[in-house]
Amino acid sequence: MTTSTGFDIRRIGGRIGAEILGADLSETLDPAIVSDINTALLEHKALVFRDQHLDDAAQLRFASLFGELTTAHPTVPSVEEQPSILPVDAEEGIRANHWHTDVTFVRTPPKVSTLRGIVVPPYGGNTLIANSAAAYRDLPEPLRELADKLWAVHTNDYDYAAPKNAKAAEHRKRFVSRKYRTAHPVVRVHPETGERGLFIGGFAQSLIGLGPSESRDLLRILQSSVIRPENILRVAWSPGDVVLFDNRITQHYAPDDYGDLPRLLHRVTVAGDVPVGVDGERSYVLEGDEAGHYTPAVA
């Protein structure tokens, strides 16, 4: 498909993902092109821009086209002198090998995330992105009706992985240096499209009103719908690639399948709003703060 502004959109997944051809992200993009990219993002959930070779400044400029930028992370340090860029560096123990939506443990998780490939292993090191709206639609009607009523507690303080080395242990210590617990609807209504998506992932650790055993079982059942192969896009990186995904209606995962090889991505996120459930209720803080130091988004 060729847009009116001249770039091509090529679907690369049956339910999620498209590659954008003919757009040079290093240039100043016309507002009409940005609008077309945003429209494609809302439809396809994740967009891949090959062979862009941006520097930090260009990635920041591109991400800012979609809204006000967050700082890099609520607890993890940014790239030196770049407060809005998070280094996703395997050598520093940052291996996001669990399904998650970025920073859902705060009240206003990012709207969209951009990733830029800098150092890429010769094998492995892909990024998997899942469509949580398709996952919701896949549920049998009784499960959808139940999910519509559920709220989950998201937190950054849980044992998602045993540190493999001293660097990983230090990263883990920084990650939980400030504890957050936030209640989000299990089914989030997308603020632009009105789609319903399962808003869970690795930071969702319990369900409000249910005990630990029931919470684990129900979250496992719902999460199994998100990670069905039909709902997943696998991005094989090359240096210079840029990926843009809608953090409000996707999850992602980076398989730890490249041994001790280096892998470095830079992440920049756009500030998001407060998630809203099917009943119109908004997410709320249980522990921690509003993360105002992290996101300038209006609550």
| CA atoms of 224 and 233, how far apart (whole Å) | 16
Sequence-separated (6 or more) residues with CB below 8 Å from residue 218: 146, 150, 207, 210
Q: Which residue ranges make up each domain of the chain?
A: 73-235+246-287
- What is the gyration radius of the CA atoms in the chain, in angstroms? 18
Q: For the structural domain made of 73-235+246-287, what CATH number should be given?
A: 3.60.130.10
Q: Is 102 an active-site residue?
A: yes
Q: Which of 73, 138, 267, 273 is catalytic?
A: 267
Q: Which of 171, 196, 248, 252 is catalytic?
A: 252
Strand order across the 242-246 sheet: 8-11, 18-21, 46-49, 242-246, 112-119, 264-270, 86-89
Q: Which of 95, 100, 107, 116 is catalytic?
A: 100
Question: Is-contact 196 188, C-beta < 8 A?
Answer: yes
Q: Is 267 an active-site residue?
A: yes
Q: Which of 102, 138, 246, 273 is catalytic?
A: 102
Q: Is 252 an active-site residue?
A: yes
| CA atoms of 175 and 95, how far apart (whole Å) | 12
| CA atoms of 96 and 227, how far apart (whole Å) | 15
From first to last of the 299 residues of the chain, give the pLDDT tens digit. Answer: 766 667 899 999 999 999 999 999 999 999 999 999 999 999 999 999 999 999 999 999 999 999 999 999 998 888 999 999 999 998 876 666 789 999 999 999 999 999 999 999 999 999 999 999 999 999 999 999 999 999 999 999 876 555 666 766 776 787 777 899 999 999 999 999 999 999 999 999 999 999 999 999 999 999 999 999 999 999 999 999 999 999 999 999 999 999 999 999 999 999 999 999 999 999 999 998 888 777 764 43
